[in-house]
Amino acid sequence: MKFKKNIQRWFLTVIIVAASSVMMGCTSSQVKSDFVIKGNSNLPQNTLFILSKITDVQLQIIDSSYANKNGSFEFNGNGYDESTLYYVTIGNTRPPGVPLIIEKGAKLSLKITKDEFLDASISGGKYNASMYKIFKIYTDFERTMTAFNKEVEAIDPQTASANVTAETTRKYNDLIKKRTADIENFVKTEPTTPATYFAAKYLFNQPIPSILMIAYEKLRKDFPNSSYTASLGKTIDNLGPTTNGVIAPEIILKTPQGDSLALSSLKGKVVLIDFWASWCGPCRKENPHVKAIYEKYKDKGFEIYGVSLDSKEASWKAAIQKDGLTWKHVSDLKGWKSSAAQLYKVRSIPATFLLDREGRIVKSGFRSNQLEALIIPLLD
């Protein structure tokens, strides 16, 4: 039961540490500045504090300051037109540290205490009240996880029962789920700031697509010209079009009646995109079970968008009628060259994608015996 090695540093894992050779490249006495950070700490004289700008490539050191005999220190620098993410560390540029948001002319006060854990209070600037909230979320998690690790260390893995092992694993998973839920709630409910970007982009070993999308949509609305909005957009583009959590790519194909039907027209419903064909035996075997689920939930907001990989219109229509499939159907009758199949990277059928009411992909690659359990929570 080795949990500790995996969770010691859950924040800023994707920021590459800047080279120590540039650590002293800029000091407060050398810079004519337009922002000032006055700091106070419980740390001894000559403790080194470093202020770095956060970028997707590395931490760029902006200023450094040694604590005086009272534990006080000061940073100075030139701000940017947009509010910008910075990070204050102690001794070197590695975490733990304190994230800040700084803009031109900002006057900040920062109090740092470091005992077993790092703690801080921040005042000043447009958005640091929001940044402090996310700082507390992930530092509180560090405290909780440290206590959990002490419990784990007290367990002898040689004599631990299966029940003890299972309970320890459950506690660990619950802690991780709570951390993720707390960060997602912050991104969803807090006013949009650069802290929104920070939370979605830097607080996971592997960013969660659904949280990235929520953050991006908020940033695109409230900060359309921000470099953080552009950066998050590029990150999402690199995820691929059918990653869980992203908005499902648009499909507009013809129905059996010859009308165009857009996938997006079903937004507001829980939608199953079902890639199938009349000639696909496994697809046809799934249909009775899918049909039963559709009849049960269609009046509760569930819809199916069936995309056929048929090439013969008559065969497609006959299969729909024979199997009694009363949901939405579309096709371009191009077989495996179907534009929708190409877009969704379908290589075999049946292929399934489940969308929530906002049109996000929740799950893909499942069979009909899993469908009901997946749609019930989405319909609530």
pTM of the predicted model, to two decimals? 0.68
Query: For all residues of the chain together, what is the average pLDDT?
Result: 89
Name the nearest CA neighbour of 65 among 82, 90, 42: 90
Confidence label for 158 from pLDDT (cuts 50, 70 and 90): confident
Domain-located, residue 130: no
Q: How far is CA 47 from CA 60, 75, 96, 121, 363, in A?
A: 20, 14, 15, 18, 50
Of 237, 267, 296, which one is at a domain's C-terminal end? Answer: 237
pLDDT at residue number 265: 97
Whole-angstrom Cα distance, residue 40 to residue 30?
A: 21
Across residues 100-106, what is the average pLDDT? 94
255's tokens: 């129905």
CB-CB contact of 223 with 229 (8 Å): yes
Q: Among residues 96, 125, 154, which one ends one of the domains?
A: 125
Domain total in the chain: 3
- What is the 3 state secondary structure string of 21-85? HHCCCCCHHHCCCCEEEEEEECCCCCCEEEEEEECCCCEEEEEEEECCCCCEEEEEECCCCCCEE
Residues 121 and 142 in one domain: no
**pLDDT at 157 (0 to 100):** 82
Q: Considering the domain boundaries, does residue 131 fall inside one?
A: no
Question: Could you read off the pLDDT of 278-287 as tens digits, one per residue?
Answer: 999 999 999 9
DSSP 266: G
Which 3 state secondary structure label does DSSP give 268? Answer: coil
Residues 99 and 159 in one domain: no
- Strands 351-355, 270-276: pairing is antiparallel
Residue 351 inside a domain? The answer is: yes
Per DSSP, the three-state class of 129 is helix
**Considering 237, 270, 302, which residue would you say is the last residue of a domain?**
237
Q: 110 to each of 50, 107, 194, 196, 285, how far by Cα in Å?
A: 13, 10, 18, 21, 65
- Per mean pLDDT, which range of 26-30, 162-166, 282-286 is the poorest? 26-30
What string of DSSP letters covers 336-362? GG-HHHHHTT--SSSEEEEE-TTSBEE
Residue 80: C-alpha distances to residues 61, 75, 84, 227, 374 (Å): 15, 16, 7, 11, 46
Rounded Cα–Cα distance for residues 361 and 374 (Å)? 12
More confident residue, 341 or 34: 341
Range of the domain at 114: 4-125
Instruction: Considering only residues 378 and 242, tell me which one the structure prediction assigns the higher pLDDT.
Output: 378
Residue 290 scores a pLDDT above 90: yes
Within a domain: 245: no
Q: Are 109 and 38 in contact (CB under 8 A)?
A: yes
Both structure tokens of 64: 């450094």
* pLDDT digit string, tens, across residues 166-184: 899 999 999 999 999 999 9
Q: Which of 183, 9, 3 is nearest to 95 (CA)?
A: 9
Q: Using one digit for the tens of pLDDT, what is the confidence trace for 208-236?
A: 888 998 999 999 999 999 999 999 998 88
Do residues 337 and 266 share a domain? yes
Whether residue 163 lies inside any domain: the answer is yes
Q: What is the CATH number of the domain that holds 272?
A: 3.40.30.10
All residues at 6 or more sequence positions from 237 whose CB lies less than 8 Å from its CB, including other chains: none
Indicate if 353 and 277 belong to the same structural domain. Answer: yes
Q: Give residue 19's pLDDT.
A: 36
Structural tokens at position 157: 């893995």
112 lies in the same domain as 51? yes
